[in-house]
């Protein structure tokens, strides 16, 4: 009887060990050979584009299929607004281009996609995004989301353009010596710091809540669009290459553009307390938009 009891214990132990071993093997298979793709719409697009070669929506795909892809455009097919979860994107380690526009993404982890140079994630529901591992990014389009923060930009040493318009950002500072074009209109900005971006050429800050900006560290600035804010004054003396300056619908009380001799388009109408815009003798600005009570003059009191 005792021998039978111990035999049963031995068999049970073997069964448990075997079961655990099978479970571990299954987990290892998922980790090393397969990627989990829990979002059926994401997987269907991968199937439609011939990326997921098994051709079946089964919540997984071969990791080697993902690693073959250098460009992933999830907007080639009629699946706008379908994808809620991009789990599995971590396996696409060789992509340099990613577009997932007009989907239902609330978060995304791109820490494994270190070769990315172009990123299109506009028209989603992202509230924050960390790009600290994406050091090769050149273009970032994340407009029309619900972003409050975007981090890691200081590591993108090749970044040229960032578009974060139509979000919910209140404070924005950027430290990036390569960025040239920054679009951050239609946010909730009360603070903007571009002192760490000395090579900026164009800045779009329309429709925010800014009462002041310091652009003295941006000598390469050519285009500044800052209409529809709360600006009381602005110093453009360091921006001598400025060609386009739009500051309509603010609260400016004075404005001196006498050092901005490259200006070809000036729009400062609808500033109720701005009557005189100072220019230098002989300065010609080809296109000017003023309210009827405003004038260009060499002498402004």
pLDDT over 70 percentage in the chain? 90
28 — pLDDT class (breaks 50, 70, 90):
low
User: Taking residues 9-13, what's their average pLDDT?
Assistant: 41
pLDDT over 90 percentage in the chain? 87
Model confidence at 22: pLDDT above 70? no
113 — pLDDT class (breaks 50, 70, 90):
very high
30 — pLDDT class (breaks 50, 70, 90):
low
What is the pLDDT of the chain when averaged over all its residues?
Answer: 91
170, two tokens: 């209140």
Model confidence at 17: pLDDT above 60? no
Model confidence at 3: pLDDT above 60? no
41-81 pLDDT, tens digit per residue, is 999 999 999 999 999 999 999 999 999 999 999 998 777 88
Model confidence at 15: pLDDT above 60? no
Residue 21 has a pLDDT of: 47
Residue 120 has a pLDDT of: 98
Residue 78 has a pLDDT of: 76
d(C-alpha 276, C-alpha 127), whole Å: 42
Residue 151 has a pLDDT of: 97
Domain 69-297: give its CATH code: 3.80.10.10
Pairing of strands 60-62, 34-36: antiparallel
Residue 8 has a pLDDT of: 41
d(C-alpha 232, C-alpha 138), whole Å: 34
Query: Tokens 């060499």 label which residue?
Result: 298
70, two tokens: 């250098």
Q: Where are the domains of the chain?
A: 69-297
Q: Which residue has the higher pLDDT, 17 or 265?
A: 265
Lowest mean pLDDT segment, chosen from 8-22, 57-71, 94-108, 210-224: 8-22
Model confidence at 25: pLDDT above 70? no
85-103 pLDDT, tens digit per residue, is 999 999 999 999 999 999 9
Task: Return all residues near 31 (Cβ < 8 A) that are at least 6 apart.
Answer: none
179-214 pLDDT, tens digit per residue, is 999 999 999 999 999 999 999 999 999 999 999 999
Residue 32 has a pLDDT of: 81
């Amino acid at each position: 009887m005792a021998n039978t009891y111990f035999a049963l214990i031995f068999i049970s132990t073997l069964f448990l060990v075997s079961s655990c071993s099978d479970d571990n093997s299954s987990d290892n298979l998922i980790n090393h050979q397969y990627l989990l793709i829990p979002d059926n719409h994401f997987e269907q697009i991968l199937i439609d584009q011939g990326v997921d070669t098994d051709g079946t929506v089964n919540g997984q795909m071969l990791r080697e299929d993902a690693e073959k892809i250098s460009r992933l455009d999830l907007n080639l097919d009629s699946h706008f607004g379908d994808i809620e979860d991009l789990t599995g994107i971590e396996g696409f380690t060789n992509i340099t281009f990613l577009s997932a526009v007009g989907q239902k993404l609330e978060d995304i982890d791109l820490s494994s996609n270190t070769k990315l140079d172009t990123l299109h994630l506009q028209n989603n529901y992202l509230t924050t995004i960390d790009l600290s591992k994406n050091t090769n990014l050149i273009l970032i389009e994340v407009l029309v989301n619900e972003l409050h923060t975007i981090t890691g930009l200081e590591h993108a040493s090749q970044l040229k353009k960032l578009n974060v318009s139509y979000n919910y950002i209140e404070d924005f500072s950027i430290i990036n010596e390569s960025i040239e074009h920054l679009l951050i209109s239609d946010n909730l900005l009360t603070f903007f710091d571009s002192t760490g971006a000395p090579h900026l050429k164009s800045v779009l800050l329309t429709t925010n809540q800014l009462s002041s900006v310091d652009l003295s560290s941006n000598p390469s600035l050519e285009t500044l669009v800052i209409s529809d804010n709360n600006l009381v004054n602005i110093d453009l003396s360091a921006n001598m290459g400025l060609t386009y300056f739009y500051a309509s619908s603010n609260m400016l009380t004075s404005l001196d553009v006498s050092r901005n001799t490259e200006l070809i388009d000036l729009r400062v109408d609808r500033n109720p307390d701005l009557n005189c815009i100072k220019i230098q003798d002989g300065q010609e600005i080809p296109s000017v938009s003023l309210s009827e009570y405003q004038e260009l003059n060499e002498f402004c009191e």
